[in-house]
Amino acid sequence: MQLTDDEIREILIRQRKQKKRRQRKLRRFVLLIIAVLVIVLAVGIFINRDARINSRGIIFIDAGHGGVDGGSKVGKRLEKEDTLALSLAVRDELESLGFKVCMSRTGDEDVDREERGKIANKKNAQLFLSIHRNQASEGEGVEVYIPSKNDKESRMLGTNVINALAEQGFTKRSVRVGTLITEKDDYVENSVPTMPSSLVEVGFMQNKHDNQLFDGNLENNAKAIALAIEATFDAIYTEEE
């Protein structure tokens, strides 16, 4: 039976449509496969990152003050803002080294001083560092306070941190036991945590040189603190293992 031109044309059109449908289905299938591979890859990266961050240990970083407690104030400069900026940078550096980092706050939040140590205990943190800034009409440099029991692990942490910041240009003052008033008492930040702890005063807010070192070298200061924490962690917990 001989087909007419119209019939041949319809057959060709139908074949072309079928071919286009097959091509569309193939493209959708390929796109679906690509999407699945992307999702699998993303999940894998996230899992690996999470495993990496949790692989070494848990560090607690306390950004001093916050919320209604602004800490020291010099002009428009607030201690709570400085401590948060440095603490967040330290967190990032520690995570890049493979640590899990817990923080007392990540924004301008009210957190009771005693609660900070309680959170660290609940998180099973292995080292605790509280970051502050000093205020005095005459003063320069970094100093550290450790618990009145003067345990060697806390002293090691405080010594490593103060030495690291001294290498960044800050004047090295001293590692003090207890509080400024007495060695027999403790700042709350050092009294509650059950793990080795230190409170660091990163420069004086009324000192122009200290402020320049703080603002202009924030990333390197954070890296120095993170490496000091890493060295302390390895010395305490690697030796125990």
- How far is 158 from 5, CA to CA, in rounded Å? 93
pLDDT score recorded for residue 17: 76
Structural element, H or E, at residue 129: strand 127-134
* Residue 82 near residue 133, CB atoms below 8 Å: yes
Mean per-residue pLDDT for 43-62? 69
Confidence band for 13, pLDDT divided at 50, 70 and 90: confident
Q: In the chain, what percentage of residues exceed pLDDT 90?
A: 73
Structure tokens at 13: 């059109």
51 Cβ contact partners less than 8 Å away, ≥ 6 residues apart = none
Q: Evaluate if residue 69 carries a pLDDT over 90.
A: yes
Q: Is 203 left (phi over 0), alpha (psi -120 to 50) or beta?
A: left
pLDDT score recorded for residue 15: 74
Nearest to 50 by CA among 102, 93, 2, 95: 95
Mean per-residue pLDDT for 203-208? 96
Q: Render pLDDT for 137-155 as a digit per residue (tens, 0 to 9).
A: 789 999 999 999 999 999 9
Mean per-residue pLDDT for 58-77? 96
Of residues 27 and 222, more confidence is placed in: 222
Pick the range with the lowest mean pLDDT from 12-16, 158-162, 205-209.
12-16
Confidence band for 33, pLDDT divided at 50, 70 and 90: confident
139 Cβ contact partners less than 8 Å away, ≥ 6 residues apart = 204, 206, 207
Helices (H) and strands (E) in the chain, counts: 8, 8
pLDDT score recorded for residue 51: 46
112 Cβ contact partners less than 8 Å away, ≥ 6 residues apart = none
List the beta strands (DSSP E) in 55-117. 58-63, 73-74, 77-78, 100-103
Average pLDDT of the chain is 90
Q: Evaluate if residue 48 carries a pLDDT over 80.
A: no
Q: Render pLDDT for 163-203 as a digit per residue (tens, 0 to 9).
A: 999 999 999 999 999 999 999 999 999 999 999 999 999 99
Confidence band for 107, pLDDT divided at 50, 70 and 90: very high
pLDDT score recorded for residue 95: 98
CATH T-level fold of 57-240: Aminopeptidase (3.40.630)
* Residue 90 near residue 61, CB atoms below 8 Å: yes
